[in-house]
Amino acid sequence: MAFIEYSIGTGTLSIGAGAPAFVPGPQGGVVALEVDDFDALIKKLKDSNVKFVMEAMDTGACHMALVEDPEGNRVMVHKKK
């Protein structure tokens, strides 16, 4: 696995490859989005019955989770520490 992250203003652009769950969905590739309040977003996604491909986890560098949109595209949400 390999990831590179770029700081862009107050956010981050993350590009990665090699992680088994991070493969393109039927409609395209995986996108990763940094969020301001990770815990609040995870609660909102769960309350909305969004499908989790990978539950929220602490990687040591960030908190992240992988969800799937209604078309099957995978979206990672994360918050850098």
Under 8 Å between Cβ of 25 and 33: no
pLDDT in tens, 16-60: 777 787 777 776 778 888 999 999 999 999 999 999 999 999 999
In degrees to the nearest 10, what's the CA dihedral of 48, 53, 56, 57?
180
Q: Which long-range contacts (CB under 8 A, 24 or more apart) does 43-49 make?
A: 45/77
Which candidate, 5, 8, 47, places its Cα nearest to that of 76?
5
* Model pTM score: 0.71
Residue 61 to residue 44: CA distance in whole angstroms: 23
